[in-house]
Copies of this chain bind each other. A is one copy, B any other.
């Protein structure tokens, strides 16, 4: 099985300087990955002929397929055609058929084609023109010394259509299929996961296992490539089994699952509902729980009890407030019970703590308590995870959802 190596070069000073976000390179990377093409480098260069030529030469020395995006416009700073011609030592000439087509585009809108657009009708001997039905810039498909250079226009919808309709049919892609699955974990750090998996797994190339620290926990991605999807799936299977055995307790879902969607399906399966009373998270838990469609069937309601006065209306007792304080295990449990009562739900979930920047009731920012109360279930969890105000809120919300999830799995 031949492995095809590709490289992407995004062309444009506005991309380089971060003035517009490059969405083309990620799109192409995903397309290549799905077809078993290896991508090892991608780069961005400004509108400068010398540096564009250097980038193209470098890419041609490493890859079989070089995809250039952008720089096909009509103006002086559109230099992709010039760079390909210079690197291959070929001279561009105006293609009369292309020119007629371009002039037709302008005359059909009652306009005369500016002279600068003539270079969009250029071709070099090794280039084939790729039609652009929704823009003026045709692409180039260049075959040279066993390698392929593709030049695509910058506007994403033009690029994607040309890639799909013109480039893919011309590329002789290796017959391979990729199977991948992403496990979402909670309550364990990236380095602990790596330790549990062991070097044998994390350093394996095919199937590969990679960990990613995300805002919602650490993701572990297993990928395998083979001639058919079935074979790739079979290749990944033993690794998946080992991973599930080792990490199972921390895994809450795969691929498109989210904490909210998993909680939603656990609640729906039992015909149960949850309600929240939030202090430190200020509504963030309710926000996340209502991100899953159909939230009104399992989310009974929520309160943001930021002040002590409001907390007293949602289950906090004056005795607990004066003895243990609003930031305490006892308060978290009372607020979770209060949530059940106020909204008539099966489960109650509460958060109370110190978001910062100032300490509160003698607790440092980052100290928080989560309360989970359900049918024959009561638990309080203490958190101590310093950070800025937003980080503390995010982590407390994540921990609250994790605590509810564990309770639902156990209960």
Contacts and interface: CB of A to CB of B under 8 A. Distances in A.
Interface of A: 13-14, 16-21, 23, 25-30, 33, 39-48, 51, 55, 58, 73-77, 109, 114-117, 134, 155, 157, 189-192, 194-195, 199, 202-203, 210-213, 276, 278, 281-287, 289-291, 293, 295-296, 299-307, 309-310, 343-344, 355-358, 384-385, 387-391, 393
A391 B305 CA distance: 26
A335 to B, nearest CB: 13
B284 A287 contact: yes
B40 A46 contact: yes
A395 to B, nearest CB: 12
Contact of A307 (B301, B303, B356): B301
A138 to B, nearest CB: 15
A195 B117 CA distance: 10
Given A114-B191, A290-B355, 7 more contacts: A39-B46, A40-B46, A77-B210, A116-B194, A282-B291, A291-B389, A301-B307
Number of this chain's copies in the complex: 2
26 contacts: A13-B210, A14-B210, A18-B25, A19-B210, A21-B23, A21-B26, A25-B44, A40-B46, A40-B51, A58-B58, A75-B190, A76-B194, A76-B203, A109-B385, A114-B195, A116-B194, A116-B195, A283-B290, A283-B302, A290-B355, A291-B393, A293-B355, A295-B306, A299-B307, A301-B307, A301-B310
B74 A55 contact: no
B116 A155 contact: no
Contacts of A387: 134
A191 B75 contact: yes
A388 B184 CA distance: 23
Contacts of A391: 134, 157
A42 B305 CA distance: 48
A191 B301 contact: no
A310 B302 CA distance: 9
Contact of A390 (B17, B291, B296): B291
Contacts of A116: 191, 194-195
Contacts of A23: 21
A353 to B, nearest CB: 12
Contact of A213 (B27, B155, B191, B357): B155
Contacts of A276: 283, 304
A73 B190 contact: yes
Contacts of A212: 14, 19-20
A18 B14 contact: no
A387 B190 CA distance: 34
Centre residue among A20, A293, A301, A388 by max chain B CB count within 10 A: A301
B293 A73 contact: no
Nearest to A10: B42
Given A16-B42, A210-B14, A358 B293 contact: yes
Interface-centre pick from A13, A194, A283 (highest chain B CB count, 10 A): A283
A356 B286 contact: no
Contacts of A109: 384-385
A191 B306 CA distance: 39
Nearest to A25: B18
A210 to B, nearest CB: 6
A382 to B, nearest CB: 11
A303 B303 contact: yes
Contact of A285 (B13, B58, B278, B283): B283
Contacts of A278: 283, 286
A47 to B, nearest CB: 8
